[in-house]
Amino acid sequence: MKTADDLTFRPASASDAELLASVFMECFAGPPWNEPWSLETAVRRISLFAAAPTFRGIVAIEGSHAVALALGQIEGWTQGNLFLLQEMCVLPDRQGSGIGSRLLDHLLSRLRDHDDVIEMYLLTDAGSEAESFYLGRGFRRSDRKVVLRMGTP
Ligand SMILES: CC(C)(COP(=O)(O)OP(=O)(O)OC[C@H]1O[C@@H](n2cnc3c(N)ncnc32)[C@H](O)[C@@H]1OP(=O)(O)O)[C@@H](O)C(=O)NCCC(=O)NCCS
């Protein structure tokens, strides 16, 4: 759907892997994340997500360029489905102008209307600007769950 400012929001698919990977790389290269992605490792990450039948995503396009993405997986649950939001980002020079909020709205309405999703959840760094973004848009910290990690010995 086209909007007045020329941004288009459309579902993402496996054939978008390179397009999405270039946005993803640029978004997470700088502070606060400073993640050392190459195009190859970014394409691999996105392609693995997108190969699953449970993959769902939205990409924001402006002209011929992607400027933002939101990607994840649906999971079956007792009533309806859950959605794990695995990656969401807006190009650094476009952050803070409302694109992320609109992208999340598109994703939520699509998941609710097409995939019977009743709840979305995600992992992010505690106290980060990203957490503030999500808290300002209806997400709440879980008071029961923790993230547990272990390297492979
Ligand atoms: C977090 C992110 C997706 C938000 O999208 P956005 O388009 O910048 O956000 P919007 O303009 O719709 O909303 C602005 C809100 O986001 C918050 N925010 C978070 N990160 C921000 C950033 N880098 N720049 C500007 N605002 C940011 C602001 O505090 C603001 O909150 P408020 O409306 O309650 O005052 C985007 O900033 C981004 O891609 N950041 C880098 C990657 C990242 O952190 N992704 C999430 C990892 S889990």
Q: What is the pLDDT of residues 121-141, one digit of tens each?
A: 999 999 999 999 999 999 999
- Phi and psi at 8, nearest 5°, equal -115, 135
Q: What are 49's two structure tokens?
A: 């997500």
Q: What are 88's two structure tokens?
A: 């969401």
**pLDDT cut 70: percent of the chain above it:** 97
The mean pLDDT of the chain is 95
Helix, strand, coil: what percent of the chain each, to 5? 35, 25, 35
The span from the CA of 13 to the CA of 15, in Å, is: 5
The span from the CA of 8 to the CA of 69, in Å, is: 12
pLDDT band at 32, cuts 50/70/90? very high
Minimum-distance ligand 1 atom for the alpha carbon of 135: 34
Q: Residue 82 pairs with which residues in a beta bridge?
A: 75, 119
Q: Please indicate whether residue 1 or residue 24 has the higher confidence score (pLDDT).
A: 24
- Give the residue-averaged pLDDT of 19-42: 96
SS (H, E, C) 88-122: EEECHHHCCCCHHHHHHHHHHHHHHHHHCEEEEEC
What's the pLDDT at 64?
87
What is this structure's pTM? 0.95
- Give the residue-averaged pLDDT of 90-104: 97
Minimum-distance ligand 1 atom for the alpha carbon of 28: 42
Q: What are 110's two structure tokens?
A: 């699509």
Identify residue 117 by its one-letter amino acid code. Answer: V
pLDDT band at 2, cuts 50/70/90? very low
Q: What are 118's two structure tokens?
A: 């009743």
Pocket of ligand 1 (CB under 6 A): 27, 88-90, 95-101, 124, 129-130, 132-133, 136
Q: Ligand 1: distance of its center to the CA of 136 in Å?
A: 10
